[in-house]
Amino acid sequence: MRYAHEVAKVRAAEQALMARLPDGALMQRAAAGLASVCARLLPAVYGARVVLLVGGGDNGGDALYAGARLARRGARVSAVQAGSKIHQEGLAALRAAGGRLLEDDGAAAVEAADLIIDGLTGIGGSGGLREPHATLAALASAAPGTVVACDVPSGVDASTGRVAGAAVHADVTVTFGTYKPGLLIDPGASRCGVVELVDIGLGADLPDPDVVALRPADVQPPEPRPESDKYRRGVVGILAGGDEFTGAAVLSTGGAVRGGAGMVRFASVAHPVELVRHRWPEAVTTVIEPGRHGAKVVERVGRVQSWVVGPGLGTGAAAESLVEAALATDLPVLVDADGLTVLARRRDLLRRAAPTVLTPHAGELSRLIDADRAAIEAARLDHVRLAAAELSATVLLKGSTTLIAEQDRPVRVNPTGTPRLATAGTGDVLSGLIGALLAGGMPALDAAAAGAYLHGLAARLAANAPRTPETPWRAETPISAEDVINALPAAFATCSGPPSP
């Protein structure tokens, strides 16, 4: 796991550690780690042109001390001061090592630099960058040299990932002590580049994390055992599709079949059932006759260990009856797509003891919790937490970085997302996949997080795979939802072994 802590907790841990260390020792640890990463990024430190963008806070001090270390190794280091204050001890160290403070606006130096260190603001920064910080951030982001952010790119809210205006686009972010949520959550995450964590000794003083991101070994889907049969592996029931949206039926069933379910029981009206039988003959199907009540359908489908309800189902009375019937059981239920629209007007159906997983995008979540979609997109972490508490459910908020929340638990961040998933039907695949993991016995939060991880990884594998033996490898090939289904076995194969510490 990668553990991330919000700013207030990081500050408290830093204060506790500094009370046990000599003055300035913590900043020196950070500067040493920053300088080490920067040195690795340069073809040669000696003679390299390094520019420091320095604000008045501790990150400016970190940048100055790191610049001094590089200057002592022969780099030509210049600092650009933003604002009226500067870390005087750090500036003195830079000058003593042969570095200099520029008297102009730094534009020419930034343009000519081999490496730029962003120390404009720190983890305490919030809101949009003011001048001259905003102009310097734009200059750095457009410059040809490598941009290294100190702790967090300036302009990114370290606790939430919000970007309220101009922000540095870094190639590498060197963060200290622990990850911060804003480094893992878009839009902030997209400004970070590669994130390098430098250990400065905070571990013993940090409380439980606010956000965690999975690594491959943390994804532990249920494994078949020698005594396994299809029922022990998990049977998932799917209520999806209709005469208008038949693809959702096929794709959600495919996600469950390739997601490791021991058996998939699928129920819908006649035409989607016919298509599922043709594409997935291993699925056990039930035709829903017109006018049949949802409770009777659920009973007729047979024994299952979890339900997936909603993809392509429609939003009328018949669909509402099926959503209500699934949620009336004592089994884990995943609700997606049209099922979420039903829940927006029938939130009373969420009053249940069994696990419930909701998988909205921002628009669907806005209807569920009566919030503005733009506000959700701007503050995804806040809203996914709010939704989990308000709806008493596990909420998976889809997006460029998918977030999974349960009340009073660290929010899970999925690191495998890709824009290639922004194509019709991939959400249906995700629903079936998570439903299979639920049926296999995974707790709701683990199933949703693992499903998102495997789903994103499958998309990446599909996008990078050659289409035929004669076709050369092509990066980020366009993919379809069916490609994601077909790549799921390869994604599962990458996630084996014991969980990481």
Q: Give the residue-averaged pLDDT of 165-169.
A: 94
Residues in binding site for (6S)-NADPHX:
58-62, 122-128, 151, 248, 312, 361, 428
- Burial (Cβ within 10 Å: 0-12, 13-18, ≥19) of residue 198: middle
This prediction's pTM = 0.91
Strand, coil or helix: 278: helix
Spatial contact of 206 and 6, defined as CB atoms under 8 Å apart: no
Query: How far does CA 27 lie from the centroid of its chain?
Result: 30
d(CA 355, CA 372): 27
Q: Does 471 have pLDDT greater than 50? A: no
Q: Is 83 exposed, middle or buried (0-12, 13-18, 19+ CB in 10 A)?
A: middle
Q: Which domains does the chain have, with CATH numbers?
A: 2-210 (3.40.50.10260), 230-461+477-494 (3.40.1190.20)
Give the H or E element holding residue 195: strand 194-198
- Integer Cα distance of 201 and 89 in angstroms: 23
Neighbours of 340 (CB within 10 A): 21
Sheet holding 146-150, edge to edge: 100-101, 76-81, 49-54, 115-119, 146-150, 172-176, 194-198
Residues at the annotated binding site for AMP? 398-402, 427
For the cut 80, the answer to whether the pLDDT of residue 31 exceeds it is yes
Q: Is the pLDDT of residue 467 over 70?
A: no
423-454 tens-digit pLDDT: 999 999 999 999 999 999 999 999 999 999 99
Helix axes 426-439, 444-464, angle to 10 degrees: 140
As a whole number of angstroms, the distance between CA 65 and CA 67 comes to 5
More confident residue, 451 or 468: 451
Enumerate the known binding-site residues for K(+).
59, 118, 154
Compute CA distances 49 → 71, 100, 297, whole Å: 10, 12, 71
Position 24 pLDDT exceeds 90: yes
Q: Which residues are annotated as a binding site?
A: 58-62, 118, 122-128, 151, 154, 248, 312, 361, 398-402, 427-428
Q: What percent of the chain has pLDDT over 90?
A: 85
Range in 251-260, 374-383, 489-498 the model is least confident about: 489-498
pLDDT score, position 354: 97
Containing 264, the helix (H) or strand (E) segment is strand 263-268
Q: Which residues contact 141 (CB under 8 A, 6 or more apart)?
A: 147, 168, 169
